[in-house]
Amino acid sequence: MAEVKTVQFESDGRIPNNPVLPVLICPNAFKDHPDQLEDAFHRHGWTGSWIGDVFDYHHYHTNTHEVVGVVSGHADIQLGGEQGETYRVKEGDVVVLPAGTGHKKLGGSGDFQVCGAYPEGRSPNLKTGDPAEHDKDLEEIRSIKQPVPLRDPVYGNTGPLVEEWK
């Protein structure tokens, strides 16, 4: 199992972030086989997948968690909103974003591409941090039907999500 970094962000008044669950950053989880990211996500119940880029503006989802695996290239991703932290992600890295976590691509290589997926194939909404919706968004994050997915998107019945998100 690859080394995992956990980080949690507080609300900044615009981006609610998740008040309970930390972000999981899994460097090199698929270092030798990034082409198998999507298959692994599906095998572990994280479906509704897509291949593409990360938006270049802060956004988050209040109705589902999200996993993003880097298929190719590298990028600097800001997590947690304007006051958050920037992380360099590269081919084979996986980031699990609990509902409400702000994320934005600041820049990256021309070949940067990710695979994203959601527990049980949920359809994500798209929020951009309207302060007038902050309290409602936070309430929706807290009321997700399955607050902790049953399986880790990388390792299945074991792994960092199962351990860290108990």
Dihedral angle over CA of 49, 52, 56, 58, nearest 10: 0
Beta bridge partners of 96: 24, 67
For the chain, which residues score pLDDT lower than 50? none
What is the predicted pLDDT for the residue at 3?
Answer: 85
What is the predicted pLDDT for the residue at 2?
Answer: 64
Location of structure tokens 């008040």: 19
pLDDT in tens, 32-64: 999 999 999 999 999 999 999 999 999 999 999
What is the predicted pLDDT for the residue at 98?
Answer: 97
Distance CA 84, CA 71 (A): 24
Taking the whole predicted model, whether its pTM rises above 0.75 is answered as yes
Domain-by-domain residue ranges, the chain? 5-129
What is the predicted pLDDT for the residue at 129?
Answer: 96
> Looking at the domain 5-129, which fold is it?
Jelly Rolls (2.60.120)
E strands within 14-131? 23-26, 46-52, 66-72, 74-79, 85-90, 94-97, 103-108, 113-119
